[in-house]
């Protein structure tokens, strides 16, 4: 049952729903909303058996609700007085092979929330992914006219692509905002297992053993460790989402990366520097199951976001890694 928090600070805000609110980016959004003085937040998620519930322990919010219960309630007409839905909930595993599950969880569920939002004039912001760009051969420009031509390399990316196309085909990009996340890293991702960022996954290896293992390259045009990604710190990512929340007129589908491609070697050196050790990098075999689905280069085109008036500069990679290692040393949460 939903019980509204009676805190006097809460009453000045209408409800903001954050789906996936116990997850990595979702909990960081709640953290930022709390910093802005808002705790009239309904967290919608599916906690399961991992430890993402720990992301919630330091956060302030009105209530928590299971994702399927929330869907049942809004479809039955219950009015939560919702101002906005920030939809981060999804199965984000790029190695998930259950296509039916991804269609139901990432596509159909998102459609239901979007339709409810449109019907009730609720601000809707949702997570897409840079995985929709596939091998990058068509570039990384967030031009709506090119989205239909993209060919994702995995089913996760395709589930996100399907929803982007649904938005465009129905012209809902005029009233809602999607963000194509690139490689987001930062506190509160500790529960993600194999989907954790390399910074999180390799922190103990670097800090305790003084070395790091990175995947070898299997393309002649990339040396080992020189495969490149657009890394963006989670604190920068949520600031962009707060901007879109504040400016509902900024609708459309936007990239959300730093706009700069760094190699895995760059990232590793930033980790060694933050920890105060000399770099020692070993190159290891990439699992064969990944070799045909591996992105060798990603770099978000960020002109579209900047043209909306967003002027805040993103934290340089070295500074972001340094900030993050301050959390990793004691596994601190936002």
Separation between Cα atoms, residue 307 and residue 302, nearest integer Å? 9
The two beta strands, 123-129 and 82-87, are parallel
Q: Looking up tokens 């990512």, which residue turns up?
A: 237
**pLDDT beneath 70: ranges in the chain:** 1-13
pLDDT of residue 228: 96
192 is catalytic: yes
H/E run at residue 282: strand 281-284
Question: Structure tokens of 324?
Answer: 């993050």
Separation between Cα atoms, residue 203 and residue 325, nearest integer Å? 8
H/E run at residue 41: strand 41-45
The alpha carbon of residue 41 and the mean position of all alpha carbons in its chain are separated, in whole angstroms, by 19
269 is catalytic: no
Which residues neighbour 64 within 8 Å (Cβ) at sequence distance 6 or greater? 21, 22, 42, 43, 44, 45, 56
How many CA atoms lie within 13 Å of 264's alpha carbon, on the beta-carbon side?
23
Which residues neighbour 273 within 8 Å (Cβ) at sequence distance 6 or greater? 318, 321, 322
Separation between Cα atoms, residue 39 and residue 6, nearest integer Å? 11
Sign of CA dihedral 246, 249, 253, 257: negative
pLDDT of residue 27: 98
Q: Looking up tokens 């996954």, which residue turns up?
A: 201
Q: Among residues 73, 192, 201, 250, which one is catalytic?
A: 192
This prediction has a pTM of 0.93
pLDDT of residue 143: 93
DSSP string across 212-279: EEEEPP-STTS-TT--EE-EEEHHHHHHHHHHHHH-TT--EEEEES-S--EEHHHHHHHHHHHHT---
Which residues neighbour 147 within 8 Å (Cβ) at sequence distance 6 or greater? 132, 161, 164, 165, 168, 253
Which domains occur in the chain, in start order? 10-186+231-259+300-315 (3.40.50.720)
pLDDT of residue 6: 39
86: left (phi over 0), alpha (psi -120 to 50) or beta: beta
Let me know the angle formed at the C-alpha of 165 by 161 and 171, rounded to the nearest 5 degrees: 150
Q: Among residues 107, 156, 190, 233, which one is catalytic?
A: 156
Which residues neighbour 120 within 8 Å (Cβ) at sequence distance 6 or greater? 82
């Amino acid at each position: 049952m939903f019980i509204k928090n009676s805190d006097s600070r809460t009453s000045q805000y209408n409800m903001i729903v954050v789906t996936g609110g116990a997850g990595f980016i979702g909990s960081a959004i709640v953290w930022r909303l709390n910093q802005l003085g808002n705790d009239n937040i309904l967290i919608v998620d599916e906690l399961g058996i991992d430890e993402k519930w720990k992301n919630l322990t330091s956060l302030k919010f009105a209530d928590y609700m299971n994702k399927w219960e929330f869907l049942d309630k809004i479809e039955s007409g219950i009015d939560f007085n919702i101002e906005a839905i920030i939809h981060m909930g999804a199965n984000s595993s790029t190695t998930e092979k259950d296509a039916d599950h991804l269609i139901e969880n990432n596509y159909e569920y998102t459609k239901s929330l979007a339709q409810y939002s449109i019907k009730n004039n609720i601000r809707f912001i949702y997570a897409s992914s840079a995985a929709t760009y596939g091998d990058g051969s068509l570039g990384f420009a967030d031009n709506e006219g090119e989205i239909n031509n993209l060919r994702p390399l995995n089913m996760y990316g395709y589930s996100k692509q399907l929803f982007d196309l649904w938005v465009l085909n129905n012209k809902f990009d005029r009233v809602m905002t999607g963000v194509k996340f690139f490689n987001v890293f930062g506190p509160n991702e500790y529960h993600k297992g194999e989907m954790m960022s390399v910074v999180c996954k390799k922190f103990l290896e670097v800090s305790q053993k003084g070395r790091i293992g990175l995947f070898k390259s299997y393309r002649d045009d990339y040396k080992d460790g020189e495969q490149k990604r657009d890394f963006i710190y989670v604190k920068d990512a949520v600031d962009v989402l707060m901007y879109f929340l504040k400016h509902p007129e900024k609708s459309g589908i936007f990239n959300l990366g730093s706009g700069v491609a760094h190699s895995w070697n760059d990232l590793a050196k930033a980790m060694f520097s933050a920890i105060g050790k000399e770099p020692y990098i070993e190159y290891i075999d990439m699992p064969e199951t990944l070799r045909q689905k591996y992105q060798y280069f990603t770099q978000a085109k960020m002109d579209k976001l900047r043209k909306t008036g967003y002027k805040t500069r993103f934290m340089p990679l070295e500074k972001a890694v340094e900030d993050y290692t301050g959390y990793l040393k004691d596994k601190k949460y936002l």
